[in-house]
Amino acid sequence: MKILICPDSFKDALSAADAARAIADGARRADASLDLLTCPLADGGEGSLDALLVATGAERRTARVRDALGRPIRADWGWRAESRTAYVELAEASGLQALARHERTALGSATFGVGELIREALDAGAERLLLTLGGSATNDGGAGMLAALGARLRDRQGRELPPGGAALAELAELDLSDLDPRLAALRVEAAVDVDNPLLGERGASAVFGPQKGATPTEVAHLDAALARFADVSAALLGQDYRDLPGAGAAGGMGFAARAFLGAELRPGIELVMAQANVAALMANADLVITGEGQLDGQSLGGKTPVGVARLARRHGVPVVVLAGRLAPGWQAAFDEGVTAAFALADGPMALDEALARCAELLAARSESLVRLWLARAASRP
């Protein structure tokens, strides 16, 4: 029996690689002779770089850049010399998980560090860029990234805007005359883990602003500021991408990636699975086990378990999801190819306990699942 194990990370508890190891440990307790293949995945959020490096064998490089609050940090990126391909994860430079809760401010956080990583890739001779956009601490529409690449954003008095999404409300001029000319020859694919537009009730500010520290009043201000950015951008470029599915990813970075880098926006899980050649692995599997911290109705927008299930359905392979929590709307995953889904908790417990015991609980659920699967297989004539 061949089992493909391909989870995402369990946020604040386990990386995707650690989660895959825990699931494999549980499966081996059920039957040590099983043929297990682990393939950690990501959907464009934090951990995507690690998954891509494992999948492609690319070299890990490190650069000194600014974080979402403008502080100097070290951030990793990937380089594959033979294909002149760079892998940049937004969350490495501008990720939400790198900030303490009291530091999270959607008003002033910026994507400047992402632009610095892209510049590093250009300096290395990149001809292709895979940019993953999940897990951001920002809501600046990618304005910080553009500034790092040479763009100038000015107010009505000709002053350059300060960093952050709130400042875009004062945007009067977007000057691209000094934008890095090497971008014109760069082929960009942007991995997004949501399909939200830039603005409105499903937009970047309304849906994701609160988790980045924005109050309801600030959400309204940020949405108006991004609308101003979209207006000025459309007037300059002659095209308007505010309603593009995925434009609202990473606080509007999807918008900037498409509008200014010419990026093709792709569901992150599809891009990562393509790089890891998951389809070939799945074709020989009898069962697929995937998972992440939470399965809910929003998972259908591009999260790892549902992306895996959609691919598995095309190959006729059953898929089981192990999730830290099954939240409202999770049953919709059945329509996308998920065979069954199980939560990890073995009784009432606080979040801190659940996080601390995540590997233990994941292995236990995996063992029970595989024992059940083997019993089913043995009962067949």
Tokens of 305: 């378990």
Mean of pLDDT over the chain:
94
pLDDT for residue 58 is more than 90: yes
Interval 84-97: pLDDT, tens? 999 999 999 999 98
Q: What is the pLDDT of residues 111-163, one digit of tens each?
A: 999 999 999 999 999 999 999 998 899 999 999 999 999 999 999 999 999 99
Mean pLDDT across 205-213? 94
205 backbone φψ class: left, alpha, beta (φ>0; ψ -120 to 50):
alpha
Q: How far apart are CA 288 and CA 5, in angstroms?
A: 6
The DSSP secondary-structure symbol of 160 reads B
When pLDDT is cut at 50, 70 and 90, the band that residue 381 belongs to is: low
DSSP β-ladder status, 152-154 and 128-132: unpaired
pTM of the model: 0.86
Quick: pLDDT tens for 151-161: 999 999 999 99
Identity of residue 37:
L
**Which stretch of DSSP H or E encloses residue 340?**
strand 340-343
